[in-house]
């Protein structure tokens, strides 16, 4: 009996120790971050200052030579420009569409759950599986979009608006390929931004909206004078997630075009993978991947400062 009482007392004291409990509960998360993020980052830094390749176990440190090489590489410069085009254009469109969809999903009407299901479905589906579906829809021969355009008389005839060719070759022309990659990424990232903005809309006080309605404020005045200013901090968070996901995403580009045609859709993440993994040049691949780190850090700092400023004012 005495032994059980001592054991119960020790257990109780252990359970009441908040510092010990907090340390025990946060340890798995810290270990996960260190193993899944910290170790690969250290390894990438280690490789970027060496001449490591997958074909040889011997390597030596060469300093900043890898970074000089990638800055002189025209494909890297093209990938850097494409990354900015890909990110900024997709995020601008996502921000506009997510505001519209958030208001549609927040309204009360019959069948709203079906609309919510269809809009949120792309985010729940595996990105590679969804992109493979788009790969078929954008096929150079069997694209259903080309069939619809031919059926409407916009393609495939002498006086057609889009020309007399039978197909658009969405992934074969540089401009169409970049537009296709941006379209698929918008389809992928739009549900997340919509959910974040829906949460922001639900947090707006109903009294404020009722007061605006009583004062005779219309839809556009209420939207631009009340909702948008109150949603700017929430939009900043949505924009932050969107920038991080877009800057670091390579699945859409890799599945659809693998950076082609002629590297016209190549982005930094896909070029780092192709250079470092498929080509076996670990050193240059690591240097390209690490180039994303300061870019993302600058973007995150700017967005957080904007969110902070709008929240205070």
Whether the pLDDT of residue 75 is over 80: the answer is yes
Q: What is the pLDDT of residues 116-136, one digit of tens each?
A: 787 777 877 788 888 888 998
- Domain 74-312, CATH: 1.10.3720.10
pLDDT band at 302 (very low <50, low <70, confident <90, very high): confident
Q: What is the pLDDT of residue 179?
A: 92
Instruction: State the pLDDT at residue 74.
Output: 92
Average pLDDT, the chain: 82
CA pair distance 290, 42, nearest whole angstrom: 10
pLDDT at residue 4, as a whole number: 56
Choice among 45-49, 212-216, 255-259, 284-288 with the minimum mean pLDDT: 212-216
Higher pLDDT, 295 or 17: 295
Distance CA 232, CA 144 (A): 39
What residue segments make up the domains of the chain, in order of their start? 74-312
pLDDT of amino acid 82: 92
Please report the pLDDT score of residue 93 as a whole number.
Answer: 92
Give the model confidence (pLDDT) of 225-280 as tens digits.
Answer: 778 887 888 888 888 888 888 888 888 999 999 888 888 999 988 999 888 888 88
The CA R_g of the chain, rounded to the nearest whole Å, is 26
- pLDDT score, position 312: 46
Helix axes 18-33, 2-16, angle to 10 degrees: 60
pLDDT higher than 70, residue 206: yes
pLDDT digits 0-9 by tens, 165-194: 888 888 888 899 999 999 999 998 888 888
Contact 177, 263 (CB under 8 A): no
Which residue is listed with tokens 């409990």? 21
Q: Which residues of 69-87 are buried (b: 16+ CB within 10 A; e: fewer)?
A: ebeeeebbebbbebbeebb
Strand partners, 61: 50
pLDDT digits (tens, 9 = 90+) for 16-40: 667 777 778 888 888 888 888 788 8
């Amino acid at each position: 009996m005495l032994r059980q009482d001592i054991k119960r007392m020790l257990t109780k004291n252990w359970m009441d120790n908040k510092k010990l409990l907090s340390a025990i509960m946060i340890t798995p998360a810290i270990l996960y971050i260190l193993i899944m993020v910290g170790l690969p980052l250290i390894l990438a830094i280690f490789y970027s200052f060496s001449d490591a390749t997958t074909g040889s176990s011997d390597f030596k440190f060469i300093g900043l030579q890898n970074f000089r090489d990638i800055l002189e590489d025209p494909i890297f410069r093209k990938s850097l420009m494409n990354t900015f085009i890909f990110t900024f254009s997709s995020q601008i469109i996502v921000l506009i569409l997510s505001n519209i969809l958030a208001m549609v999903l927040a309204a009360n009407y019959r069948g709203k759950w079906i609309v919510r299901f269809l809009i949120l479905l792309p985010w729940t589906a595996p990105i590679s599986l969804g992109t493979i579906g788009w790969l078929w829809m954008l096929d150079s021969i069997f694209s259903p979009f080309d069939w619809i355009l031919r059926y409407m008389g916009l393609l495939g005839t002498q006086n057609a608006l889009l020309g007399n060719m039978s197909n658009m070759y969405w992934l074969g022309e540089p401009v169409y390929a970049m537009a296709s990659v941006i379209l698929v990424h918008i389809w992928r990232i739009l549900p997340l931004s919509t959910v974040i903005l829906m949460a922001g809309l639900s947090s707006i006080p109903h009294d404020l909206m009722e007061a605006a309605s009583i004062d005779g404020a219309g839809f556009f005045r209420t939207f631009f004078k009340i909702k948008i200013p109150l949603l700017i901090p929430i939009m900043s968070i949505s924009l932050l997630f969107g920038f991080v996901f877009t800057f670091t995403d390579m699945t859409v580009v890799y599945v659809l075009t693998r950076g082609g045609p002629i590297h016209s859709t190549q982005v930094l993440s896909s070029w780092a993978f192709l250079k470092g993994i498929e080509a076996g040049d670990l050193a240059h691949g690591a240097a390209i991947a690490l180039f994303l780190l300061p870019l993302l850090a600058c973007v995150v700092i700017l967005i957080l400062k904007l969110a902070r400023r709008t929240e205070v004012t």
